[in-house]
Structure 1
Amino acid sequence: MTDSGAALREHLDGDGLLVCPGVHDPLTAAVADAVGFDTIYMTGYGTSLSKIGYPDAGFITMPEMIDNAANIQERISVPLIADADNGYGNATNVIRTVREYIKAGVGGIHIEDQTFPKRCGHTKGRQVIPREEAVGKIAAAADTRDERGEEFVLIARTDARGTGDGSVDEAIGRVNDFLDAGADVAFVEGPTDEDELRRIGREVDGRLVYNFVGDLGSSPYVDLPALDDWGFDIVLFPIAATLSTIANVYADFSAFAADPVAAMRRIDDEFNEQPFESLHEFSGFPDVVEWEEQYLPDEEQEKYDGSLGDDVA
């Protein structure tokens, strides 16, 4: 049992939609945690782009994803839902994938039914494995959850709607089979309009995720009360922090190119408008000082006497 999994299940048992902003590293996760959300989501696309510099096209590996998830979960105070791509292999590989994510301490993961190499669920060219094979992978994941961390939340995703001949009927049939195989939550990737969302809400026999990708993908902008009314339980905003990071850093560095000193002054001013005492406060330096006082010899505190720099206590 993981504390994060238990907390995530408690949130799922509550009323209303569970809104999860997407983050790609511990820094963006710390910002989301400071703002205050019940659950945070680790994007696979953003993780691949920020950690290895490649798009979400099957380049990032399981250890790299789990390392990022573990570091994010360690930094935040709420449960993390992490992207686990297609489980990084067949059903036997999925067993290790789930074990490793449970060891990482996250609240839950989603696993999809794409072939390898997989790609972003809102790009052309996706393919899915046969339904029977996909059900076996979810069954393996569910059995591993039950053996290693029964509170861990397993979300089963299908990309069948986005394949060349995919239909919403096939997608609904797949996720219902995934729920029967032991998944806790169903995730139909890429519904194309509100009518499909209503159908999914009516015909999927279990909890539901909506992936709110905005202009990046094929799924529509939808008001959150409507999603709630249609029977959805979790809404992910997977690429929010990644798009924000790219757009804001590009704008700031463009200003740097024109006048670095003026740009730095403006960035300082904007940061100081945030509810943080300083970057050092936000990053956790006061905890370091407290640990030193608690565990190091008294003479170690002398290094602060007469030294220059910000007071990080």
Structure 2
Amino acid sequence: MADPRLKAAFAERRFIVAPGIFDMISAKVADGMGFDCLYVTGFGTVASHLGVADAGIATYSDMVGRVGTMARGCRTPVIADADTGYGGLLNVRHTVVGYEAAGVSGIQLEDQEMPKKCGHTPGRRVIPAEEMALKIRVAAEARKDPNFLIVARTDARTTLGLDEAIRRGRMFEEAGADIIFIESPESEAEMQAIGQAIRKPLLANMVEGGRTPILPAKRLQEIGYAIAIYPAIGFLAAAAALEKAYAHLKATGDSTAIGESYGFRRMTDLMGFPEVWEFESRWARGDKVEGNQ
């Protein structure tokens, strides 16, 4: 079931900052930070799972299990990237049903041609707007829980221009999307124009090194946005830390002088080892489950 707190946060007009998660370590760390929402990034999840580019290679089967593991492992509501819905209208229906059953609170669908490409990268092509609007209508009909949110993304800005991207955003509003995501505007002025044109909650994609300027959350809210996702922040930080640690180990043959780390004890706590140890200790003493004594 979708978490009703996410829909309530939008209704209350609280600005939502959603960090990207891509595996269970990132999910558990972010889950303890007090965010209103976490965002399962396609780029990061495909990279960590398959070690390949986010270029339409991962399938529904590759993704739904990992998405579900992250959603079920977090107390925080989760929105998950589902690319194009992994095919046509029937695939979209199957994807929405599967992601909702997996425990996410929102699904992101985009209007790219298959195979899709990662946002903020060149060569993205989009399907006709009317075809995407049908996908959104199918998605809205397929969900069982009204708290399950549909994020409609258009990648039209890069190849077809801002006006077409805004037109598509309005179409997707009418088709039943709960949140509109116009990918990769290229200036703050463009973002302001989007904020003035779209009525439903708007999503800003803050990608370090991407095509869109990184604006503070307060400024995003001022110009009309309701949620900002930071899909790359986690895996970029993780890759940098790993590179530094591995380079130090290779150069010195010593892992003890790398500097500050998360700490083995903290990691065992994060992964739930104390509960495991308590369980094993209790049963090693021969304790019985109540009712079976």
The answer to whether TM tops 0.5 is yes
Matches within 5 A, 1:200-211: 200-211=194-205
Tell whether the 8 Å contact from 1:16 to 1:228 is kept in structure 2 after alignment: no
Deviation sequence 1:273-305 (CA, Å, 0-9, x none): xxx9532212101222445577x584379xxxx
Matches within 5 A, 1:1-313: 2-4=1-3, 6-145=4-143, 148-163=144-159, 166-215=160-209, 217-261=210-254, 263-266=255-258, 269-272=260-263, 277-292=265-280, 296=283, 298-299=285-286
CA RMSD of aligned residues (A): 1.8
Q: Any gaps of 5 or more consecutive residues in structure 2?
A: 289-293
Q: 1 CA distance for matches of 2:287 and 2:188?
A: 63
Q: Name the CA shift for 1:91/1:33 in 2 (closer, same or farther; >3 Å).
A: same
3-state SS in 2 of match to 1:266: coil
Q: 1 CA distance for matches of 2:265 and 2:10?
A: 34
Which position in structure 2 is the counterpart of 1:304?
A: none
What's the TM-score, normalizing by structure 1? Answer: 0.87
Please report how far the alpha carbon of residue 187 of structure 1 lies from its aligned counterpart in structure 2 after TM superposition. 0.4
Q: Name the CA shift for 1:182/1:290 in 2 (closer, same or farther; >3 Å).
A: farther
Tell whether the 8 Å contact from 1:212 to 1:238 is kept in structure 2 after alignment: yes
Letter in 2 for 1:278: R
Q: 1 CA distance for matches of 2:256 and 2:101?
A: 41
Tell whether the 8 Å contact from 1:7 to 1:107 is kept in structure 2 after alignment: no
Q: Higher helix share goes to which structure? A: 1
Tell whether the 8 Å contact from 1:185 to 1:208 is kept in structure 2 after alignment: yes
3-state SS in 1 of match to 2:54: coil
Q: Name the CA shift for 1:144/1:222 in 2 (closer, same or farther; >3 Å).
A: same
Q: 1 CA distance for matches of 2:239 and 2:199?
A: 38
Q: Name the CA shift for 1:31/1:200 in 2 (closer, same or farther; >3 Å).
A: same
User: How many residue pairs end up in the alignment?
Assistant: 288
Letter in 2 for 1:270: S
What's the TM-score, normalizing by structure 2? Answer: 0.93
3-state SS in 2 of match to 1:271: coil
Letter in 2 for 1:233: A
Tell whether the 8 Å contact from 1:8 to 1:39 is kept in structure 2 after alignment: yes
The runs of at least 4 consecutive aligned structure 1 residues that moved more than 6 Å come to none
Q: 1 CA distance for matches of 2:173 and 2:279?
A: 46
3-state SS in 1 of match to 2:262: helix
Q: Any gaps of 5 or more consecutive residues in structure 1?
A: 302-313
Q: 1 CA distance for matches of 2:173 and 2:167?
A: 10
Letter in 1 for 2:131: E
